[in-house]
A = this chain, B = another copy of it.
Amino acid sequence: MKNLLYTGKKIKKTKARTIILEEINKIKSHPTAYEMFEIVKQRLPRVSLGTVYRNLDILSEHGLVLKLKMNDAQMHYDGRTDEHYHIQCVKCGKTEDIPLEMLKDIDTAVRDKTSYRILYHTISFYGLCTGCAEEDVSGKGKKV
């Protein structure tokens, strides 16, 4: 293979792969695989969920997508690949970026306090997004 697509690694430029990468780069929120499947299906109706999962994995292995584990059942995928932190709404599950600079110093701080060889860390914030916070006020007393 001569075309070193996307990253300089050998990776075939397929229709599904291209659309997945384009679509995830269009949005700032961090969808689940199933949400990506629904988005991609609009442009590629016969795409299968397995293909979406596989390509999101391959793209994340090649550093083109970040794979995030938050406090819900599904993985989330992020088209922004520089290191940064995330926040998730505890009510609706929406997951987004946090504009907080990387705390590079805490790895070294921990390095001195543990026998582990530290490789990286993750920070996740949890709270209520604007929409859910409003519901919370107007719906006070109601069981959600």
A→B interface (CB under 8 Å): 69, 71, 87, 89-90, 98-100, 103, 106-107, 109-110, 113-130, 133
Contact = CB atoms under 8 A, between A and B. Distances in A.
**How many chain copies?**
2
B125 A116 contact: yes
A128 B117 contact: yes
B100 A116 contact: no
A100 B87 contact: no
Contacts of A98: 110, 113-114
Given A69-B71, A114-B87, A107 B125 contact: yes
A21 B82 CA distance: 41
B106 A117 contact: no
A127 B117 CA distance: 5
Given A69-B69, A121-B124, A123-B122, A116 B129 contact: yes
B116 A87 contact: yes
14 contacts: A87-B114, A90-B119, A98-B110, A98-B113, A98-B114, A100-B106, A103-B106, A116-B125, A119-B128, A121-B123, A121-B124, A122-B123, A122-B124, A122-B126
